[in-house]
Amino acid sequence: MAENIVVVGSGISGMCTALSLAKRGLEITVLERDDPPPEGDADEAFFNWPRRGASQFRHPHAFLGLMCNLLQDNYPDLLEDFYEAGARRVPFPDMLPRELEDKYVPEPGDERLWVLMCRRATIETVLRRYVEKMPNIRILNHVHIDGVIADQEADRPTIRGLKVRRDCIEAHGAEIAADVVIDASGRTTRFPRWLAELGVKPEEENDDAEIVYYTRHYKLNEGVEEPPRNAKDRPAGDLGYIKYGVFPAENGNFAVIVCLHNCEVELREAIKSGEGFDRVCRSIPGLQPWVDERQSHAVTHPFGIGDIRAVWRHYVKDGEPLVCNFFAVGDAALRTNPLYGRGCSTSILHAHMLAEVLCASTDPIERARDFDTRTEEALRPIFDTSRSEDRSGIRRALAIHEGQLLESAQKGWKNRFGVAFGDALAAAARYNLHVNRGMMRTVNLLEKPGEFLNDWRTNGIIFAYMLRGRSRNAAARMPRGPTRDEMLGLIDASSQV
């Protein structure tokens, strides 16, 4: 096909969209408003690349099995570039809790259970330089878009190109023609507003996760080894009123996140300072070995991100496209709470699905319907699960804020059974290899969420754990750490010193 395809945005979603299309022989132009990555190594990119178009650029990311296997299967040389930049491959045996290390017996499929550990700045820099070498991809930087160009045909507009902002006209002209426009501009996309000017108003699912999280980056001290990730006190957990996690990266770098419900005003204020952030982290046994001043030193101040939502925009309604020759991928189309680390994987999957759709047909309406159908089939289960997890987290945080236990806040036997089943599942995954393997397939998006629970053996094991009693299972699930009142006391005492 000799189509003029324009991708807006050169983040992970945009680069993978361009890469997937170019691999199929298509000519791609990528438009980006930010600077290209600076010359130099990953640290140069992390500290000195002004990525205004990606608000989550310096927050930690999880690169799950779905994404890793798509890269391994389609771009093995790109994967080698990641390794050369310091990214680490972590296989399934290395992710097992300490209780299962001696019980591990390999099974077919375990080789697909692995993750990549590095900073997003490293991923974007290496990916960008790889894509720049592709002969059929052209990247234009400092392009600011001011709207879309469309013909009104039949019952819907047909996109013909993009309007360029006045201060960019000299370099790029007033308009950029396109046969297909792909929005990969992320969570802050402006396309819904521009399309609304044409009368296109997609239905939108939009649920607030009611959280904010703060990140601080650290680096291991010279000669110090990384603490074991499978220690008794795990470096990630949920105390109900606070969620936390360590994200190991490349070359001794790592990040810590602290996630709080919007109602936790005192804690949110405390962790805005470096001193307060470290004090909170050092009070949690799973984090203390990482942020001990003898172990590491901070390389950034804490910084936060809010407006965490589950969003899905529907550009097809009742089987009819609202607009032709326009597609949104990744966070521009749908996004989930980044706390779960699913965004990069779903974006790459979405990009590959779109490439398959565009190569399967040239009919604009057929393309739009096919892409919508595939998106629903592949991503709806992930989206709904993430939204359900958000709602559960909100209920738990509010219950603890009101001084209640989650189980006492639940009404009805079904909800109480669900809480008990969840505790039994968490305990089984910690102590039983079969259940852990199934859960890790779900976590890494290698199967639909919860699909492993269709296995009779898995259910039998979980119900056996339920017979042990809730208190025992909850003890296996709940990490050690201060209660909410103890944490509030800690920050209050520190403020009076």
pLDDT digits (tens, 9 = 90+) for 90-130: 999 999 999 999 999 999 999 999 999 999 999 999 999 99
Per-residue pLDDT for 296 more than 70? yes
**Cα end-to-end distance, the chain, whole Å:** 70
Fold of 210-307: D-Amino Acid Oxidase; Chain A, domain 2 (3.30.9)
3-state secondary structure of 463: helix
* pLDDT class of 205 with cuts at 50, 70, 90: very high
Q: Rounded mean pLDDT of 218-231?
A: 90
Quote the CA–CA distance of 209 and 388 in Å, as a whole number.
10
CB count within 10 Å of CB 269 equals 12
Quote the CA–CA distance of 207 and 286 in Å, as a whole number.
31
Residue 419's pLDDT is: 79
pLDDT digits (tens, 9 = 90+) for 330-373: 999 999 999 899 999 999 999 999 999 999 999 999 999 999 99
Residue 412's pLDDT is: 61
The phi and psi torsions of 96 (rounded to 5 degrees) equal -70, 145
Question: Is-contact 246 290, C-beta < 8 A?
Answer: yes
Per-residue pLDDT for 410 more than 80? no
Residue 107's pLDDT is: 96
Regarding the domain with residue range 5-34+136-206+311-382, which homologous superfamily does it belong to in the CATH classification? FAD/NAD(P)-binding domain (3.50.50.60)
Residue 182's pLDDT is: 98
* pLDDT class of 3 with cuts at 50, 70, 90: confident
* pLDDT class of 406 with cuts at 50, 70, 90: low
Q: What is the mean pLDDT of the chain?
A: 91
Residue 402's pLDDT is: 86
pLDDT digits (tens, 9 = 90+) for 32-57: 999 889 998 888 989 999 888 778 88
Q: Rounded mean pLDDT of 141-158?
A: 89
Structure tokens given for 37: 């990555």
Element (H, E) at 77: helix 76-84
Question: Is-contact 23 199, C-beta < 8 A?
Answer: no
CB count within 10 Å of CB 53 equals 16
Residues 415, 421, 427, 429: is their CA dihedral positive or negative?
negative
Percentage, residues of the chain above pLDDT 90: 77
Residue 475's pLDDT is: 74
The full length of the chain comes to 497
* pLDDT class of 407 with cuts at 50, 70, 90: low
Quote the CA–CA distance of 400 and 362 in Å, as a whole number.
54
User: Which spans in 283-412 are helix H?
Assistant: 288-291, 343-360, 364-401, 406-409
495: exposed, middle or buried (C-beta count within 10 Å: 0-12, 13-18, 19+)? exposed
Residue 38 has what DSSP assignment? P
Between these two residues, 494 and 17, which has the higher pLDDT value?
17
Residue 172's pLDDT is: 74
* pLDDT class of 409 with cuts at 50, 70, 90: very low
* pLDDT class of 309 with cuts at 50, 70, 90: very high
Helix axes 343-360, 65-74, angle to 10 degrees: 40
Q: Rounded mean pLDDT of 291-300?
A: 96
Residue 391's pLDDT is: 93
Question: Is-contact 218 255, C-beta < 8 A?
Answer: yes
> So where are the chain's domains?
5-34+136-206+311-382, 210-307, 387-486
Residue 165's pLDDT is: 85
Residue 85's pLDDT is: 93
Per-residue pLDDT for 17 more than 80? yes
Q: Rounded mean pLDDT of 240-252?
A: 93
pLDDT digits (tens, 9 = 90+) for 420-456: 888 899 999 999 999 999 999 999 999 999 899 999 9
CB count within 10 Å of CB 199 equals 12
Percentage, residues of the chain above pLDDT 70: 96
The owner of tokens 């809790």 is: 97
